[in-house]
Homo-oligomer: A and B are copies of this chain.
Amino acid sequence: MTEDDQAGPRRRDAAATRESLLTAARSLIARDGVAAVSTRDVATAAGANQALVYRYFGSKEALLVEALSPTEPDSTIADTPLDALPHTLLRRALDPDAPAEIRASSMSTLVAGAGTELVRTIARERIHAGFTTQLAGRLDGPDAELRAELVAALLAGIASLRDQIGTRAMAGADLDVLAGYVDRMVAPLLVD
């Protein structure tokens, strides 16, 4: 019911236009993948002129970088008890009802976009800063960083198989059953 809910983009409102371009980019990324996004499509979806992409972001790449970045910092890893972490992270990674701005920067999107150098770089930094470092900080024993990345790898692989590729069992699995197995796989990594 706010102004933001209205259909077309607001005219003469720079912040709103910028935001609607970002939102449009995120929707398209979530739906079609990074590689399939064109500035023309983004502008059309946002109801804006294509040149505004350049006014507000400078380049397609800069728009994508921002679209692929999380909208707000995620403190899940820091706030969740270690033994509940696998469950929690899995649900976050697989939530199909998450808004486009979350799904656009999800693990499965990043992994699926790894065909382009841009996405590779972003994914590398995002996983390192937003996942590896935080989780490794909570782990004792050797190879903490590697063990943290193994958790990331598992989650990324699951998300990719379930959301992108859609293998039968993974796509059809009950989330609780899945979480049960993930718990057992991750457990050896959490205790030193």
Residues of A near any B CB (own CB < 8 A): 33-36, 110-116, 120, 123-124, 127-128, 132, 143, 145-150, 152-158, 160-161, 164-170, 173, 177-178, 181-182, 184-189
Contacts and interface: CB of A to CB of B under 8 A. Distances in A.
Top-10 shortest CB links A-B: A157-B157, A153-B157, A33-B115, A145-B169, A35-B115, A112-B114, A184-B188, A114-B164, A146-B169, A156-B157
Copies of this chain present: 4
A65 to B, nearest CB: 15
Contacts of A115: 33-36, 112-113, 115, 164
A38 to B, nearest CB: 14
A157 B168 CA distance: 18
Given A146-B177, A149-B169, 12 more contacts: A111-B164, A111-B165, A112-B115, A120-B164, A124-B167, A132-B167, A143-B177, A150-B158, A150-B185, A154-B157, A181-B188, A184-B188
A143 B168 CA distance: 12
Nearest to A185: B185
Contacts of A36: 115-116
Contacts of A168: 128, 132, 145, 149
A150 B123 CA distance: 22
Contact of A153 (B113, B154, B177): B154
A153 B146 contact: no
A114 B36 CA distance: 11
A48 to B, nearest CB: 18
Given A115-B112, A154-B185, A170-B146, A165 B124 contact: yes
A166 B122 CA distance: 11
